[in-house]
Chains A and B, each alone.
Chain A
Amino acid sequence: MTAATGRTGTPPGASGTPTGRPPGGAVAAAVRGANPIAKLAASAVLAIALVFSLDVVSASVALALELLLLPFAGLDGRTFWRRTLPIWAAAPFAGLTILLYGRSSGTVHIEWLLVRISDGSMELALATMLRILAIALPAVVLFATVDPTDFADGLAQLLRLPARFVLGALAGLRLLDLFGDDWRALALARRARGVGDAGRVRGFFGQAFALLVLAIRRGSTLATAMEARAFGAPGPRTWARRSRLSRADALLVAAAAGIAVTAVGAAVALGEWAFLGGR
């Protein structure tokens, strides 16, 4: 799970992921270097617990505990805000929608056309907002330091997904970088060929089609290159990088499970736990 065939001990995130110069600390390094499959499991544990609990208490306890731990997740401040900005923006919007249109109960405060703000919808809105943050923040932060190659190794070696599928997807992912350059070149080329004056929408679709054609060409060349290197050869495949789970990975998943249990436990203890919104 370290870079190649290479020296062991290099945290995977250190090579390709744009984490800038992340804060040090042994915990942060351990989280950064955790197996992507452990990160996937930790995110999943939190998500499952919170998807089933639609109450303010479980979501806020989970979020509070997470916020305490996130500084140790191996992201520097800048990257943290850049990566999580969409969540901070989306969560209040989701909450607002629920506030205005959500299932109402209790005292109704405002009513106007379809809008109906009630005690029930206010509580639901708050719970939704907190829940989105509590699920998405750890997932985004943990996956910000996941290297695609290591993730693919984990998916194929630990979760036993078909290697052909996983590696094909991984190689295809690399082509995405090229598509950015292709897109810019195509825009210039279309202008040079006299078809750059089309309206914005038509031009976009024309160019998108050209990119698709090019992408298929590139994809098939890449497939040939992979095949020429015995990709899909009969017989067992070996892995230059061994993907395995360590004690740190177990601790990461345990921490996530701890948060989930504490959050649900607190809600249950306070009699607030709302399983799937029911009570």
Chain B
Amino acid sequence: MPAAVRAEGWGWRHASRRAFAVRGLDLEIRAGERVLLLGSSGAGKSTVLAGLAGVLGGSEEGDAEGRLLLDGAPAGTRRGRAGLVLQDPESSVVLARVGDDVAFGCENLGVPRDEIRRRVGEALDAVGLHVPLDASTARLSGGQKQRLALAGVLAMRPGLVLLDEPTANLDPDGVREVRDAVGRMIERTGATLVVVEHRTAVWADLVDRVVVLEPGGGVSADGDPATVFATAGDALAARGVWVPGRPVDLPHRRPPRPGEPLLRTASLQPGRGRTPVGLPVDREIRGASALAVAGRNGVGKSTFGLTLAGLLPPVAGTVGALPPLARGLGPEPARWRSTELLTRIGAVFQQPEHQFLAADVAGELAIGPRAIGAAPADIEARVDELLERLRLTRLAAANPFTLSGGEKRRLSVATALATRPALVVLDEPTFGQDAVTWRELVLLVRELIDAGAGVVAVTHDSDFADGIDADRLVLAAQPAGHAR
């Protein structure tokens, strides 16, 4: 039985925040509707999903206003009626074996054993995850983990399925897998569906209604996808929504003439430990230019980026820093001190959380400048400038971990730029970003390049690579039998 949703002046404020995440939301979703929920970064979309799933917690977690109803009853009281799939595939896996993980929700709901067995088989089939029931969940790919999470939700036979940016952390193959799995699921169950995702093109064919949330509360557009995208397309694009068929508008640019060589690799094979990944790479990286690094999953793109950034020593071959970059230091970035790296090579990790060290956003930005011994007044000026440039001023006092995905990404880029490195290495900077953040990242990287910096971006996003006029490097796997 599909579930119906009704919000009446609903609002929620996290205990640690002054402002409401959502306020004054009035919304009705009929049973069986398939809704794409849009809105700019920080409009409270995830909060709405968490509220519907009944996982916002009690009054110690925050304050609620108005009513949020599932089949006419407060959403928190209807355990099992709504199933939620979260963004991070790593955190949604509960148990060690595939079959056990899918069964987990059913067990909690007290479903009889034989019934669970049947449902687990059906759910795995519906999401197209054809692995043995005792397969290890740790060894699944990101796309497989998300399909596993979806199967775990399906096995509970929920009337409402909630997907919170289910493909944001996935590469293009993973995105397709998850999308197809959701499509099959809808065909089979007819459950009400609410998806939050910036990449609307992925979901446009699957949903029959688009709802756009206003930051601070309220609904600004609501209707069938074609109508909403046609009538509110401009407003949506301005709010960061990827409107299907509408490329992000970037100013025309003539890339600068590449500058001096900064870094040269010779037969470089990166790797973790002593095992090289991928084939040897010979490549020169110049200032005032960009290099986009692509390649299939598992070919060692991230490891390659970390090695160029002087964070991992090469397993074979060399990374040679040339004088404009080394500025008096030896040629091996991996041997430089951490503070010496700051003004030479900046690294932006795929998972921004790994890079956060301070209790608030402003403190986070001050760490690099302070480490290189900048004067307090200069530090303050630099922090303010970055806050302003990356639209983080309002969040200066917020804990970095509490930011939204887009805000975290902007902050992690800003921390790397704070010390003006000559070379910047970015790992999948655009994963899961809304169109506004995406455009900002392109413009920011362009600015960096125009100012003479070299940029290496490990990315699956060819629009991004085009946007920054990057040369391409496609990493190749080692021939079978040679690898690992």
- A contact residues vs B (CB 8 Å cutoff): 3-7, 10, 14-16, 147-149, 170-171, 174, 177-178, 182, 184-186, 188-197, 206, 210, 213-214, 217-218, 221-222, 224-242
Q: Could you tell me if B110 and A237 are in contact, using CB atoms closer than 8 angstroms?
A: yes
Inter-chain contacts of B88 with A (CB < 8 A): 221
Least CB distance, A178 to chain B, in whole angstroms:
6
Number of A-B contacts (CB under 8 A): 193
Q: In the complex, A259 Cα to B353 Cα: how many Å?
A: 54
- Of A6, A10, A234, most B-chain CB atoms within 10 Å: A6
- What is the chain A residue whose CB lies nearest that of B399? A213
Instruction: Evaluate contact between B109 and A233: CB separation under 8 angstroms.
Output: yes
Q: What is the bound-complex CA distance between A227 and B97, given in angstroms? A: 19
Q: How far is the CA of A210 from the CA of B401 in the complex (A)?
A: 12
Contact A5 B104 (CB under 8 A): no
Interchain CB contact (< 8 A) of B100 among A210, A240, A242: A240
A148 to B94, CA, bound (A): 13
The one of B108, B134, B312, B368 in contact with A15, judged by C-beta atoms closer than 8 angstroms, is: B134
Is B419 in contact with chain A by the CB < 8 A criterion?
yes
Residues of B within 8 A of A (CB): 50, 53-55, 79-80, 83-84, 86, 88, 90-100, 102-113, 116-117, 120-121, 132-134, 136-138, 149, 152-153, 156, 272, 306, 309, 311-312, 337-339, 341-342, 346-347, 349, 351, 353-355, 357, 367-368, 371-372, 401, 415-416, 419
A217 and B356 alpha carbons, distance in the complex (Å): 12
A224 with B86, Cβ < 8 A, contacts A194-B338, A238-B110 known: yes
Q: Please give me the residue from chain A that is nearest to B121 by CB atom.
A: A5
Residue from A178, A192, A234, A235 whose CB has the most chain B CB atoms within 10 Å: A192
Task: For B133, give its contact among A6, A14, A242 (CB under 8 Å).
Answer: A6
**Interchain nearest-CB distance for A161 vs B (Å):** 16
Q: Which residues of B contact A189 (CB under 8 A)?
A: 347, 349, 354-355
Partner of B90, one of A178, A185, A193, A238: A178
User: Residue B338 contacts which of A6, A191, A231, A239 (CB distance < 8 angstroms)?
Assistant: A191
Find out whether the CB atom of A149 lies under 8 angstroms from the CB atom of B100.
Answer: yes
Whether A174 contacts B93 by the Cβ 8 Å rule is yes
Q: A5-B133, A194-B372 are in contact. List 16 more A-B contacts (CB 8 A).
A: A3-B134, A4-B102, A149-B97, A149-B100, A188-B306, A190-B338, A191-B311, A192-B347, A193-B415, A221-B86, A222-B94, A225-B92, A229-B83, A230-B156, A233-B108, A239-B107
Nearest Cβ on chain B to A191's Cβ, whole angstroms: 5
Beta-carbon contact of B116 and A194 below 8 Å: no
User: B107 contacts A240, CB within 8 Å?
Assistant: yes
- In the complex, 29 of the A-B residue pairs with CB atoms within 8 angstroms, ordered by the A residue number, are A3-B99, A3-B133, A4-B100, A5-B99, A5-B133, A6-B134, A7-B133, A16-B136, A171-B95, A184-B272, A185-B349, A185-B354, A189-B349, A195-B338, A218-B90, A221-B86, A227-B54, A229-B94, A230-B108, A233-B79, A233-B80, A233-B108, A236-B110, A237-B108, A238-B106, A238-B107, A240-B99, A240-B100, A242-B113
Cβ B351 vs Cβ A185 within 8 A:
yes
If A3-B133, A221-B91, A237-B108 touch, does A230 touch B349 (CB 8 Å cutoff)? no
Report Cα–Cα, A192/B156, bound state, in Å. Answer: 44
A217, B401: Cβ atoms closer than 8 Å = yes
B residues near A10, Cβ cutoff 8 Å: 134
Q: Which of B306, B337, B355 has most A Cβ within 10 Å?
A: B355
Nearest B residue (CB) for A177: B138
Instruction: Select from chain B the residue with minimum beta-carbon distance to A210.
Output: B357
The answer on a CB contact under 8 Å between B86 and A225 is yes
Chain B hits for A228, CB < 8 A:
53-55, 83-84, 86, 153
Q: Residue on B with the closest CB to A7?
A: B133
Q: Do A193 and B110 contact each other (CB < 8 Å), given the known contacts A188-B312, A218-B91?
A: no
- Which of A185, A189, A232, A236: most chain B Cβ within 10 A? A189
Write the nearest CB–CB distance from B118 to chain A, whole angstroms: 9
**B113: which A residues are within 8 A, CB to CB?**
238-240, 242
Name the CB-closest residue of B to A232. Answer: B108
A170 to B96, CA, bound (A): 9
* Given A6-B133, A217-B401, A233-B108, CB of A193 within 8 Å of CB of B103: no
Q: Output the residue of B108, B116, B371, B415 with the most chain A CB within 10 A.
A: B108
Q: Is the CB of A5 within 8 A of B103?
A: yes
Choose from A6, A214, A222, A240 the contact partner of B354 (Cβ within 8 Å).
Answer: A214
Q: How distant is the Cα of A4 from the Cα of B117 in the complex, in angstroms?
A: 8
